Amino acid sequence: MGKLDGKVALITGGARGQGRSHALTLAREGADIVICDIASQIETVPYHMATEDQLTETVRLVEDLDRRCVAVKADVSDEQAMQGVVDRAVSEFGKVDILVANAGIASFGSAWELTRQQWDEMLRVNLTGVWESCKAVIPHMIQRRAGRIICTSSMAGLKGIAGAAHYVSAKHGVIGLVRTLAIELAPYDIRVNAVCPTNVQTPMIDNEATFRLFDPEHGSREGALAAMRQFNLLDTPWIQSQDVSNAVLFLASDDAAWLTGVALPVDAGWNTK
């Protein structure tokens, strides 16, 4: 018996990284999975984004766990596209029990040096995309009077970080959205929470552009990891996607039956420092 037997989970940004890890973790606990991902490059993102092949690979990995999986190529900030994803999920599985609004991007620059394009694309994906994902699935959950929504924020949703004003602003916004939705949706037995990870070893972090944020002089992996380690109370520069997935599973399951409006740090103690 799994904790999510009979459930259907929709996960955005599911082609790789945390999104793929969430898909596999929820599938191992019995959920059928719907994933979506833009699976193409955004101009202001300074690292290689996910591909259609990676989206297909996530489907294969879920199916290897003997769970069903549907993948849709979609931009989370596109209202019609996200409504299409939810419609496809309901058509294939009859319902959506869980939304994990995980899709996100990163880019860097001092607040006064960011371009308008960097700012707009960051807010479009990391905040508007979360809202559009929620907006698409909420009427269905209200109709069923049940649902669990987990949004990916960040320690940058709780703390300021130099060189990432647009990212910090978006992630703070996610927590505000989660807290408001928790109030609005409680009468329908829909729980809404956020996870706030420290640095996670995914392609979004494990690349030269991110290393240069933490090690401006050399942009080296070693220098960046040493700097990242200083953020955390526990002795690690970053955590793994599975560590975040464990928290997502907790919030999606009945183990968290009375938790809503929570911004849960998965942070190796960063929030304590």
Angle at 77 between CA 74 and CA 82, to 5 degrees: 50
- List, as one string, the DSSP characters of 241-255: HHHHHHHHHHHHSGG
Question: How many Cα atoms within 13 Å fall on the side-chain side of residue 202?
Answer: 27
Residue for token pair 């970053």: 238
Number of neighbours of residue 180 by Cβ within 10 angstroms: 12
DSSP at 11: E
262: Cα separation from own chain's centroid: 15
| Known catalytic residue at 167 | yes
198-221 burial, b for 16+ CB within 10 Å, e for fewer? bbbbbebbbbeebbbbbbeeeeeb
Of 119, 167, 214, 238, the active-site residue reads 167
Number of neighbours of residue 194 by Cβ within 10 angstroms: 28
**Residue 222, CA distances (Å) to 164, 197, 226, 263 in order:** 21, 21, 6, 31
Provide CB contacts within 8 A for 143, sequence distance 6+. Answer: none
DSSP at 235: S
Contact between 30 and 3 (Cβ < 8 Å)? yes
- What residues are labeled active site? 167
